[in-house]
A and B are shown apart, each in its own frame.
Chain A
Amino acid sequence: MVFFLQNLFNGIMLGGLYALIAIGYTMVYGILRLINFAHGDVMMMGVYFAFYAATLLSLNPLFSAIVAILGAALLGFLIDRVAYKPLRNAPRISALITAIGVSFFLESLAVVVFGAIPKSFLKVFKDRTILNKVLTVAGARIPLLTFLVIFITAVILIVLFFIVYRTKIGMAMRAISMDIPTTALMGVNVDAVIGFTFALGSALAAASGIMWAMRFPNVHPYMGFMPGLKAFIAAVFGGIGSIPGAVLGGVLLGLIEIFLAAYFPAVMGYRDAFAFIILIIILLVKPSGLLGKKIVEKV
């Protein structure tokens, strides 16, 4: 029971982090039908921004996180403007290949600017004693950090749902995801809304990345690749294009991963392979995901 509870919290935490990244994928895919391959790398850049804001500018952790999130949002906006906007009317495969190029570019940019040697994120929190505190819940020993991450993730999700479902720009986003030309005819500035979507998704990815680095403090230029891929799988799992689906998919993926590794330690080395096997199974059994709409292939 104690073991179960411990893993349950770990799974929810990891799943929440996946969910925050997955939302960025799902929003962009819902609007542009584009897998933004560079999304995981935007997360990585966000972590580096936080790292340097804290070490070079010696801001406190909260401010450095805000700086990093704003920086990542700007980066996401710029990526859309520079790389994807010229390709709006091109075949979809061109945009996908460009996204791979952007991912590649960001990784090598990080190698050139920040260096390839992994850095320790622990430096950001010179005084981490509070976060290292361990709480005991029904006998299970769970670090305060885990609760903090779950709490922050939940708050971010509530704010996001408010933006998407209760504000004007959220309404514009939802309208664009249904039909771009009609929405444009209604007087909505489509490019601005798409830019906002990229910025919002990138901000969420950066927030997730910073919490990721608090938990796994090894920061390096390729750190965004795996979480990015898995978050995409989470988005597909929940039904791509659906924000609640991305949250559900992320949490489920995190739980599955943690529990498989916890109860079958023999397959620990293959942990990163689970997600892909899950992806294949879902796509074969229920291609539209858990909460997705069924898409009919048009002739």
Chain B
Amino acid sequence: MKMEKKLSARTNFILTVVFLIFMALLLYLADRYMDSYKLRVVRLIAIYGIMAVSLNLINGITGIFSLGHAGFILIGAYTASLLTLSPEQKAMSFIIEPIVPWLANAHTDFFTATVAGGVLAAVFAFLIGWPVLRLSGDYLAIASLGFAEVIRIIALNAISITNGPLGLKGIPEYSNIWWCYGWLFVTVLFMASLVNSSYGRALKAIREDRIAAEAMGINVFKHQLLSFVIGAFFAGVSGSLYAHWLTTIDPRTTTLGPMLTFYVLIMIVLGGLGSISGSLIGAALFAILFEWLRDLEEPFTFFGIHVPGIKGMRILVISAIFILVMIFWQRGIMGREELTWNNLYRWLFARRRGGEEK
């Protein structure tokens, strides 16, 4: 790092602004001219991006191996949906048991509902974090997975609040491209400033060696709890966006259960544990790959051989890729590097000079 040529802060700023304007223009064009199916995938990339970045703060940057992300996403999804559904819709869809009165007439706009989803997820993370973060390593992984399952089981059984196994239907499709990418922008901006602050450095210190960090005077528990709560807040936000993208949610294992946590885990491992830009790349790759592999489940002809569509094939392919990545390429695409203008400049123009650092 010592003799390295760096871009000035001004160049950096200008490049960032130009990039953001370019992205906004691109999104505008996509919104205008893409067909609705492709646009759905584009919006999903942003939602997955928020999920991945928020889990990466907990898993990759702080080193808490949490598998409870789907629980927080579920809380966000249900809270926000219950707030945006109109009282008439709620009265209609709660068939098994009528909805509790204090929730029946609660109705807000999409933004308030999303923030409420995030806040409730954060509150749960705070309550769960107290016992769970006293554990370490593998035990924490199982306990957090267990908590996500408990939340799902509650959603399945608290019928007068969540409508139980029937789930919620007819959620308005509010998650348009601007909401999704707006929230993604906020998430990335917040995470990037957090990671570069003294808090962020403390979090990384905990990841590297929690005992040494403790010895240096960092309050490990407090920092871990903070990271857990912030991650959960954005997970809740992504849950709200996800629900208003799906328009139908229910507490099955595949929609809002452990499966979703594993999907997000695949994204961040693929992109690089500990890299925010890596998470975004991982999320985009996952969303595109997942849609593209849909073709495998349709009947197709391969070199004259007719192959009938096989259900579940794409998850099989994705998990095989995941295992191969873990065995041969543990650092993922970005490792712990970030995609900054400086790094980009270095990789493109100054790669040959000097050795690799580290």
| Minimum Cβ distance to chain A for residue B261 (Å) | 9
Main secondary structure of the interface of A (DSSP, over half): helix
Chain B residues near A159 (CB-CB < 8 A):
none
Stretch in contact with the other chain, from B32-40, B107-115, B227-235, B306-314:
B306-314
CA distance A283 to B139 in the complex (A): 8
Contact partner of A270 (CB less than 8 A), chosen from B134, B139, B157, B212, is B157
Chain B residues near A236 (CB-CB < 8 A):
139, 142
A residues 89-132 touching B (CB-CB < 8 Å): 90, 92-94, 96-98, 100-102, 104-105, 107-109, 111-112, 115-116
Chain A residues near B320 (CB-CB < 8 A):
105
In the complex, whether B70 has a CB less than 8 A from a CB of chain A is: no
In the complex, whether A87 has a CB less than 8 A from a CB of chain B is: yes
Assess the A96–B139 pair: CB atoms within 8 A. Answer: no
CA distance A116 to B312 in the complex (A): 8
Given contacts A277-B150, A299-B211, list 16 more A-B pairs with CB under 8 A.
A87-B327, A96-B65, A98-B323, A102-B323, A104-B315, A104-B322, A105-B320, A108-B315, A112-B316, A229-B149, A269-B156, A272-B149, A275-B146, A276-B150, A280-B132, A280-B146
In the complex, whether A273 has a CB less than 8 A from a CB of chain B is: yes
Assess the A86–B327 pair: CB atoms within 8 A. Answer: yes
The closest CB in chain B to the CB of A271 belongs to: B153
CA distance A181 to B122 in the complex (A): 45
Contact partner of A112 (CB less than 8 A), chosen from B258, B313, B326, is B313
Assess the B149–A108 pair: CB atoms within 8 A. Answer: no
Assess the A111–B319 pair: CB atoms within 8 A. Answer: no
Chain B residues near A115 (CB-CB < 8 A):
311
In the complex, whether B343 has a CB less than 8 A from a CB of chain A is: no
Chain B residues near A273 (CB-CB < 8 A):
149-150, 153-154
| Minimum Cβ distance to chain B for residue A186 (Å) | 28
CA distance A276 to B330 in the complex (A): 30
Chain A residues near B299 (CB-CB < 8 A):
none
* 29 examples of A-B residue contacts, CB within 8 angstroms: A33-B138, A35-B142, A83-B327, A94-B330, A97-B265, A97-B269, A100-B265, A104-B262, A104-B315, A105-B316, A105-B320, A107-B315, A108-B312, A111-B312, A111-B316, A112-B312, A112-B313, A112-B316, A116-B311, A222-B253, A269-B157, A273-B154, A276-B146, A276-B149, A279-B143, A279-B146, A280-B132, A280-B146, A283-B135
What 1/0 mask marks residues of chain B from 255 to 272 whose CB sits below 8 Å from any chain A CB? 000100010011001000
In the complex, whether A48 has a CB less than 8 A from a CB of chain B is: no
Contact partner of B137 (CB less than 8 A), chosen from A92, A105, A272, is A92
The closest CB in chain A to the CB of B140 belongs to: A283
In the complex, whether B141 has a CB less than 8 A from a CB of chain A is: yes
B residues 135-166 touching A (CB-CB < 8 Å): 135-139, 141-143, 145-147, 149-150, 153-154, 156-157
Closest 7 CB pairs of A and B: A276-B146, A111-B312, A269-B157, A108-B316, A105-B319, A108-B315, A104-B319
Chain B residues near A280 (CB-CB < 8 A):
131-132, 143, 146-147
Chain B residues near A92 (CB-CB < 8 A):
137-138
Assess the A112–B310 pair: CB atoms within 8 A. Answer: yes
CA distance A222 to B258 in the complex (A): 11
CA distance A283 to B157 in the complex (A): 26
Given contact pairs A105-B320, A112-B311, A269-B153, A284 touches B131 in the complex (Cβ within 8 A): yes
Chain B residues near A9 (CB-CB < 8 A):
none
